[in-house]
Amino acid sequence: MHIDICQDEGLDQVWKMIIKKMGKEGKEICSNSSSFYKTQDGMECSLRKFNGDLVAICYREKNRNNGYRWTIQKESLDKTIKDYFR
């Protein structure tokens, strides 16, 4: 899933757009458990449930319209994490 935004869009607005885009799963996401953080490549966000379980990872890239595209990656994270620790 993707969200295209203007460069000057604030994180509060980005958060609202991400939660809306998540649909039903967005209701399970807790703002206190989730976080935005800077990386060498830009900005990312981890979306977590109230109990701390990871629901999705979001990352920001520049788009062609002088703005940003946020990608929401919510594939089978449990499987990915379990495979990592094998």
Joined together, the tokens standing for residue 12 give 């509060």
Give the phi and the psi of residue 11 in degrees, each rounded to 5: -65, -30
pTM over 0.85: no
Q: CA 86 to CA 68: how far, in whole Å?
A: 36
pLDDT value, residue 49: 92
- What's the domain range around 74? 2-84
Domains contained in the chain, number: 1
Question: What's the average pLDDT block by block, 10 residues per block, for the chain (86 residues)?
Answer: 88 92 90 92 91 92 89 70 54
The CA–CA distances, whole Å, from 73 to 1, 44, 55 equal 7, 11, 9
